[in-house]
Amino acid sequence: MATYTEIKLIGRGGFGAVEEVKDEKDNRFARKTFAPSSTISAGFHDKLRKRFRREVLTQQELGGSEIIPVLDHDLSGSEPWFIMPLAEKTYTEEIADNKSAGSVEIEPIADILNSLQRLHDERYVHRDLNPNNILFHDGAWKLSDLGAVLPPSGQTMTLTEDTIIFTEKYCAPEQRQDFHNAQASADIYSFGCILHDLFGQYDRTPYAKHSATGGMGVIIEKCTDPKPDRRPSLKILRSLVLDTLFEEGGHCEVDDEEANKWLEKLDSVNDWIDADYDDFARFFATLDTEERTEGLENEWVYSLSTPFLTRLPSEALKKIVERGDGISSAIVEKYCYWAASTRFLFNFADSVCGRLTTIFDHGTPSDQALAFASLVQLAESHNRWYIMRCVVRRSKEDVIDSGLAKRMAIELMTEELEWSFKRCVLTIKEEPSSLSPALAKICD
């Protein structure tokens, strides 16, 4: 086992301390040590020690692209500890920087959503999501500190009779009564509080519903609804947040009067009735035909459709896809081609991924095969772990039937995407035996 020398104390919390340390080769790390505060009764120490051990083992299992990894540990001594990478920054510091700059960086928010998705996919609930438990490491923001060892300065920690420690300012109201049975919706509440840190204009009262100005204010209200079942799912939340953040406020003008009218109407898509969706679908399916684009000043592929493809909300796309007719198929083909052939900012690629999964989850088998191939291409071109995981999850034998799997395999081979798909499987470290046989063969 390596030997570590303390350099300085980084922080101390309810039942532990984090120090910057170095090994024999002068490599720097963070070491978290079990060291209960003197204010905690000795009768709680055994329970806390087991909790610390469980958290170390869980973080060791999940650590990687979205969770801070455990590099070394010793859980057998009187003061158990573990080693993790030394983070460059906490999200608490990032929020302060955003406030000073007067603008919000989108990439960290996308990373946090990805990390939370990973945790929930593994059926874990963080239960104490807050900015100081979100660390920047190896070019991405990752979750850490499941035991809330490092509370942000000035925030209160609460210790219940059952030795649960949490950060009150970010805690969902239902956790106050029953912390042990907190569901994923509790993490959604905490994420809403983090959004309020970024966009809100007032100090928060713990356990309350919060808001802010603009579109993000509506999302914060939904996330912090006192009733857990009214909060959005993580999938819907991802779409809402990223779509809102990428809105530029004004209308993108194109060289087509009818297109401009529909672009303006997209702002009120939540108020559309079925007839509006029908009219829009028929209009959108005819965009970028030779007749319509001839003579345009900017005559490139999908020159008229691009603003719509960029802004089309997932819920609107779902309504169109569910038509299951020739018009919806034409729109699906257009979206899938655009998604597969365009280079996006990494965080917007996650939003595009969400729309492709909407097509996959609600489209015809033909739509599903096209969307799947586009997901594979998007994962390959943007090298996003989250998108690769979406690909693998939709390849499993218990998710898709054999007929659909064969369609998907044929689409991959037609587009010469066999290696791209195999790379997704290898990166996620999924056993090919869990995949549908037609897709597992591609990994041979």
Interatomic CA distance for residues 162 and 41, integer angstroms: 12
**Which residues, including other chains, have CB under 8 Å from residue 315's CB and lie 6 or more apart?**
239, 269, 270
Known binder of ligand: residue 8? no
Q: Which residue has the tokens 């569910």?
A: 322
DSSP-derived secondary structure letter, 10? E
Interatomic CA distance for residues 88 and 113, integer angstroms: 19
Going from the C-alpha of 258 to that of each of 125, 133, 213, 361, 365, the distances in angstroms are 47, 48, 31, 31, 32
Interatomic CA distance for residues 151 and 202, integer angstroms: 20
3-state secondary structure of 75: coil
The DSSP-derived string for 322-344 is TT-SHHHHHHHHHHHHHHHH---
**Helices 184-199 and 214-223, axial angle in degrees (round to 10):** 150
The per-type count for the chain, helices as H runs and strands as E runs, is: 19, 10
Contact 123, 182 (CB under 8 A): no
Contact 73, 81 (CB under 8 A): yes
The DSSP-derived string for 414-430 is HTT-HHHHHHHHHHHT-
Helix H or strand E encompassing 351? helix 346-362
What is the amino acid identity at position 241?
V
Binding site for ATP: residue ranges? 32
Binding site: residue ranges? 32
